Chain A
Amino acid sequence: MTETTDLGTPPPGHLSEGLDARLVVDRGAFRLDVTLAAAPGDVVALLGPNGAGKTTALRALSGLIPLTSGHLLLDGTRLDGTAPESRPVGVVFQDYLLFPHLTALDNVAFGPRCRGAGKAEARAQATEWLDRMGLADHAGAKPRRLSGGQAQRVALARALATRPRLLLLDEPLAALDARTRLEVRAQLRRHLAEFEAVAVLVTHDPLDAMVLADRLVVVEDGRVVQEGTPSDIARHPRTDYIARLVGLNLYKGRAEGHTVRLDTGPGITTTEELSGPVFVAFPPGAVTLYRDRPTGSSARNLWHCEVAGLETHGDQIRADLTGELPLTADLTTVAAAELDLHPGAPVWAAVKATQTHAYPA
């Protein structure tokens, strides 16, 4: 799957179309330094934990905060010295920030009006955008009368109405409850697919990122730690944060044939034959737990561990283990009861080599 990343990052300054940016922002002890490149039509998701600098990156792209250094090119034009109101950039804010004193229609007409359209012309454009979002019936409604999903679409229409060459979305689904989220996610995916210029969205939700974006850029502590297609990142996580997001146990070590010696801890037997620094990953469901050391097990990987914590995870029990190898294991409620699992209980954890996946670090 790594082959899909190769449309990735051409050298800076060589894109005449789309986005080409290196964003460096110093904020006291925090430093953001990320490189972003995208062609028109691309949807890029900045994924990362809270405080990673995602929103800072978005604000730098929109011009709301200045770059400390780096560059920002959009369709071959330098934007880093341009005031935010003069950038061809549209923003959908996390809580939408629809102007509460204006109707949905006037919210959408605000942008065209500021960019020089006459009142009637701006309203005509706004009507068309609301139509396209399926909101024609709510044109006269004030934002507080709109549902979360409707407000989100008005915010999207408002951002698109200025015909931006770069669309930024800050946690576009975070303000919605679980049920509307599903529906709005699908709609947003459709609208983003229709959008002909570059879209960059920021999220801490891996599902949103994977559904909405063609390419993920994972940011931690102000730096890009991994980028690639959603499936590539889901299969080959390179940091603990991503591994947790996609629900994998992840270890770093050095491969010698079928064995991976971990930097700390025991070895893991894998089916891949590699050498040099590698990652090994396996899903929590691949782990089998035993109370006593199994004798007849064909599993090549067997570790002595201790239960650190238990929690329900869907219809299963998720066990956090410490000991020889810290790992997460999923098991059925029945199995957990039969094993009499409780924090502090000693267990044996087995993983078949075929269930592990090793890839070069």
Chain B
Amino acid sequence: MTDTLESRPRRDRHRGRSRVVPIPLLAPALIGLAFLLLPLIALLVRAPWRSLPEQLTSAEVWEALRLSLVCATAATGLSLVVGVPLAWLLARTCFPGRGFVRALVTLPLVLPPVVGGVALLLAFGRNGVVGQWLDSWFGITLPFTTTGVILAETFVAMPFLVISVEGTLRAADPRYEEAATTLGASRFTAFRRVTLPLIAPGVAAGAVLAWARALGEFGATITFAGNFPGRTQTMPLAVYLALQNDPAAAIALSLVLLAVSIAVLAALRDRWMTAS
């Protein structure tokens, strides 16, 4: 009896999942799986394990890794500060053109990052639409600086956060905010003291996702911020550069990024990997 009782939820979970897989589906599925896995395996096989310690302790690697972590974290912070309110606006308010705004927010998700970099240059470059004023009024120059890296990464990563938080907000019961309102809370207080704690897991997941995206950012960064070691050369840029004159170093750097990605996936496993 206990056996059947125990197996019931498991059976429910696997309902509609067949043990018999037709070959026309199985073969392409396995090819697809192999295609996804092989490059990663190749990375591990060809890794210069013996020289790895010295590769990873070189000053350039640490410089690039440090810069990557700092910039990705700063970009995530920036995304949180403006992205969470933006997500709230999209999820909780009604204004004309909301659908259009939402589409614009998600545009960087599908936009080639290089195009994003070019667009950032046109906006914040020294002769850019906004950049020329920043330069002449405040003496602020954004392109080809560490701040430029952060901006480029934010541009590419923030949509991930906004989409994730907006989804969580939509799933969260808006009546908690109403309850807070009837207790005397302003809408902002209700957001800060009730909504934000309730959606914290979604915000965290979105932040991790945005952070991972920022960490791997290449196209927009190299276009808008260039490739100066110690200033704008992040890990992906270092990998690309190393591949041309020191492949072993490129592999070592790639392994570090792979390890970070796996860590991110592990952090998000409850949210994504258990999805039915």
Contacts and interface: CB of A to CB of B under 8 A. Distances in A.
B184 A85 contact: yes
Interface stretch (A11-19, A91-99, A127-135): A91-99
A110 B181 CA distance: 11
What is the size category of the interface that chain B forms with chain A?
10 to 19
Contacts of A110: 180, 183, 185, 193
Interface stretch (B53-61, B73-81, B171-179, B240-248): B171-179
Contacts of A115: 184
B94 to A, nearest CB: 14
B197 interface: yes
B184 A114 contact: yes
Contacts of B178: 64, 84, 97
Contacts of B183: 85, 90, 110-111, 114, 158-159, 162
A101 interface: yes
A142 to B, nearest CB: 12
Given A93-B175, A114-B189, A100 B198 contact: yes
Contact of B186 (A63, A85, A97): A85
Nearest to B182: A91
B194 interface: yes
Nearest to A101: B197
Contacts of A114: 180, 183-186, 189
A62 interface: yes
Interface of B is mostly: helix
A72 to B, nearest CB: 15
Contacts of B182: 62-64, 84-85, 87, 89-91, 159
> Could you say which of B179, B189, B193, B198 has the most chain A C-beta atoms within 10 Å of its C-beta?
B179
Nearest to A155: B179
B176 A97 contact: yes
B175 to A, nearest CB: 6
Given A101-B198, A110-B193, A93 B179 contact: yes
A159 B183 CA distance: 7
A199 to B, nearest CB: 15
A7 to B, nearest CB: 29
Contacts of A99: 176, 179-180, 194, 197-198
A110 B177 CA distance: 12
Contacts of A162: 183-184
Interface residues of A, number: 22
A64 B181 contact: yes
B178 to A, nearest CB: 5
A114 B193 CA distance: 10
Nearest to A158: B183
Nearest to B178: A64
Nearest to A95: B175
Interface in A138-182: 158-159, 162
Interface in A76-110: 84-87, 89-91, 93, 97, 99-101, 110
Contacts of B179: 91, 93, 97, 99
Contacts of B180: 99, 110, 114
> Could you say which of A63, A86, A110 has the most chain B C-beta atoms within 10 Å of its C-beta?
A110
Interface in A54-68: 62-64
Contacts of B175: 93, 97
A87 B186 CA distance: 12
B107 to A, nearest CB: 34
> Could you say which of A84, A86, A100 has the most chain B C-beta atoms within 10 Å of its C-beta?
A84
A63 B182 CA distance: 8
A62 B175 CA distance: 13
B202 to A, nearest CB: 13
Contacts of B186: 85, 114
Contacts of A158: 183
Contacts of B181: 64, 84-85
B196 to A, nearest CB: 10
A198 B179 CA distance: 19
B198 A111 contact: no
B176 A85 contact: no
Contacts of B197: 99, 101
A158 B193 CA distance: 15
A159 B178 CA distance: 13
> Could you say which of A62, A90, A114 has the most chain B C-beta atoms within 10 Å of its C-beta?
A114
A354 B229 CA distance: 103
Interface in B140-193: 173, 175-176, 178-186, 189, 193
Interface in B198-215: 198
B257 to A, nearest CB: 35
Interface of B: 173, 175-176, 178-186, 189, 193-194, 197-198
Given A85-B186, A90-B183, A115-B184, 10 more contacts: A84-B181, A85-B182, A91-B179, A93-B175, A99-B198, A110-B180, A110-B183, A111-B184, A114-B185, A159-B182
11 contacts: A62-B182, A84-B178, A90-B182, A91-B179, A93-B179, A99-B194, A99-B197, A101-B197, A114-B186, A115-B184, A162-B184
